[in-house]
Amino acid sequence: MLPETFLFAAPGVVAATLVAALFGLLIGSFLNVVVYRLPIMRQREFDNYIAHEAGKELPHQDRFNLMVPRSRCPHCGHQIGALENIPVISWLVLRGKCSQCKAPISPRYPIVEAVTGALSAAVVWHFGSGWVGLACLVFTYLLIAMTLIDYDHKELPDELTLPLLWIGLLLNLNGDGIVPLRDAVIGAVAGYLALWSVYWLFKLVTGKEGMGYGDFKLLAALGAWMGWAMLPTIIILSSVVGAVVGLSLIVFRGRARDNPIPFGPYLAGAGMIALFYGTPLTRFAQGYLQP
């Protein structure tokens, strides 16, 4: 059953929300490509750099990027056609199997598409279809991609974290974004230095690296979007998200307690919660802590 606010909303708002959901499904399909290919592209670029510096033949000379080559089944090499690439629907019609070799297709693909579609609708419903709402869509898509890449490869690529940072600063440039530019700049600096300080303190005490530099950049980006005052809320939320996810994986999937999950997905989850509910949560916490 649809919520009452949706049923009685203005037709233009409903239409924009539905368009955002459909657009999000398509973007979700593209994000699956980004999550799979971007780490490979980075590794190939690194391999070519090492070979070039050593005066050896480049190991990767064929074109490989987000557009080329066409998507194929990793088992039989069957090229995925347009009708086999319709978000969610194609996976359901094919019953989660390749049309040629019948090898299983991971359910993560339609899940990412569906989640991206749902979050796109939620963003446009909450922030509207103006430039702030469109910017928040980009924010959402980058966080989804970073979450999955960090979970798979334990890295947060600069190709994603740095654009998120700069877009956040540009969004708040004229003071009519989410926070004033001063708060955004301080938020970016404070976000980076907060985790940078934790990283070096942990390393000095234990001799180990507790997190990567990508985490610093991600928190800096979240600070650029939502300002320095939101950083404590984001850090607390990331701890809560981490505890919930970690316990769930231990209980339901038998994940070992000593098998760490990267911090990026927790920060990304906290960033999404803060985007929607950060201000009321902060006000609630301030009121609760006051004597």
Q: How many residues in the chain? A: 291
Confidence band for 248, pLDDT divided at 50, 70 and 90:
confident
Q: What is the DSSP string of 93-141?
A: HTTTB-TTT--B--THHHHHHHHHHHHHHHHHHHH-SSHHHHHHHHHHH
Using CA atoms of 25, 30, 35, 40 in order, give the dihedral in degrees to the nearest 10: 170
pLDDT digits (tens, 9 = 90+) for 122-181: 999 999 989 999 999 999 999 999 999 999 999 999 999 999 999 999 999 988 889 999
Residue spans of alpha helices (H) in the chain: 4-7, 11-53, 89-93, 108-127, 131-153, 158-171, 181-206, 213-226, 231-253, 264-289
Same domain, 24 and 51: yes
Asked if residues 25 and 85 have their Cβ atoms less than 8 Å apart, the reply is: no
Domain that holds residue 1: 1-129
> Rounded distance, CA 278 to CA 284, Å?
10
Same domain, 161 and 32: no
> Rounded distance, CA 198 to CA 195, Å?
5
Enumerate residues 6+ apart whose C-beta is below 8 A from 277: none
Among residues 129, 147, 162, the one where a domain terminates is: 129
Same domain, 109 and 138: no
> Rounded distance, CA 113 to CA 119, Å?
10
Q: Give the chain's domain count.
A: 2
Q: What is the pLDDT of residue 1?
A: 42
Same domain, 111 and 154: no
Among residues 70, 103, 129, the one where a domain terminates is: 129
Residue 214, both tokens:
């990508």
| Pick from 244, 236, 234: nearest CA to 271 | 234
Same domain, 96 and 178: no
DSSP letter for 73, please.
-
Among residues 129, 153, 182, the one where a domain terminates is: 129
Enumerate residues 6+ apart whose C-beta is below 8 A from 22: 117
- Distances 140 to 26, 172, 202, 275, 286 between C-alpha atoms, Å: 14, 17, 30, 10, 27
Same domain, 31 and 124: yes
Which segment of 43-52, 147-156, 242-251 scores lowest on mean pLDDT?
242-251
Same domain, 205 and 263: yes
| Greater model confidence, 248 or 173 | 173
Kindly report the CA angle at 164 between 161 and 168, in degrees rounded to 5?
145
Same domain, 17 and 120: yes
Residue 51, both tokens:
């070979």
Same domain, 136 and 18: no
Same domain, 177 and 247: yes
- Distances 277 to 19, 32, 233, 237 between C-alpha atoms, Å: 23, 27, 10, 11
Confidence band for 279, pLDDT divided at 50, 70 and 90:
confident
- Distances 133 to 138, 221, 224 between C-alpha atoms, Å: 9, 17, 16
Is residue 184 pLDDT above 50, yes or no? yes
Residues of the chain with pLDDT > 70, as a percent, come to 90
Same domain, 237 and 146: yes
Same domain, 118 and 150: no
